[in-house]
Amino acid sequence: MRGTYYNPISFYIAPSLTLDLNNPTSIKNTASSQITFTLLVNESTGQFVKQAVEGVIIYYTDAQKQVKLEGLKDNVNSVINKMLYFSLLANATKKKVSVTVEDGVNNNIVQTFIIDQLSFISLNVPTTKGIDLQPQFNSQFSAGNAAIEADVSISFSKESFIGPDTSFKLFYASQLTRCLYSCFFRFFFQVSNTDLKVSGKTTDSQYGNTYYFRIRTSDGQSEAFNYFSISVSLLPFSFFQIC
């Protein structure tokens, strides 16, 4: 009896799902039409900035440490090419981001990168306090003192707050944090929400009081604070004439 021997044939099946973060036109490629793209960071790194996108479903976890995009491959690629925004903590030491790609056909791709090395992620550096407000205020009102029935108006330097990311506009708000003696009356003191111009008017009933203000600025993702005080301790010359 004669036997027949066949040489074994080996097949290598290459996955159709690939990930190339250096290719701006097609970061992910797959034979499947649907794809899921997930980014995950450590809580000490920062958070993803929520943004409206078209053509895909986008999910953020409550803490915004993870963002997931689901949809047609071309649409997901298109969204990523338009940039994803991330608010990086000022003292962040762990900058690693885990990238997971799923298409429901191939094995998932899971890779780890340094977040500031990914060209499709725009880092929003947090806003921080800059030049102190008090010396600026004192330059117009000696030692921070103002008279009663006085118009108080000052434009603080834009360098009072440092917002490194020019793609985010800074907004400002003022708050009376505390005062000495009586605070039963209202202090008409406002700050423009788009610039650092502060204005108001003192009253005679505020005489002898010191007010402490906090200016808050925010770019929508981070915030910073700066402080100054005003003492209503002066009497104008006209006051003595009236008396």
Residue 185's pLDDT band (cuts 50, 70, 90): very low
* Cβ 75 vs Cβ 27: under 8 Å: no
Domain 128-242 grouped into CATH 3.30.300.20: no
Residue 72 has pLDDT above 80, yes or no: yes
pLDDT in the model for residue 21: 73
Tokens of 120: 């499709």
DSSP 123-160: EEPPPEE-S-HHHHHHHHSGGGEEETT-EEEEE--GGG
Amino acid, single-letter form, for residue 81: N
The boundaries of every CATH 2.60.40.10 domain in the chain are 128-242
Provide the sign of the torsion angle of the four alpha carbons 111, 112, 116, 122, taken in this order.
positive
Residue pair 112/118 in contact (Cβ under 8 Å)? The answer is no
Strand order in the sheet with 66-72: 57-60, 66-72, 34-41, 96-102, 109-114
Q: Quote the tokens at residue 177.
A: 């944090």
Cβ atoms of 47 and 87 closer than 8 Å = yes
- Kindly give the residue spans of alpha helices, DSSP state H, lying in the chain: 73-81, 133-140, 237-242
pLDDT value for 206: 81
- Lookup: tokens for 223: 């915030």
84's tokens: 């994803």
Question: Of 10-19, 58-67, 206-215, where does the model show the most confidence?
Answer: 58-67
Tokens of 153: 């108006």
pLDDT digits (tens, 9 = 90+) for 115-169: 888 888 888 777 888 999 999 999 998 998 988 888 888 899 989 988 766 556 7
From CA 215, how far away is CA 177, in angstroms rounded? 10
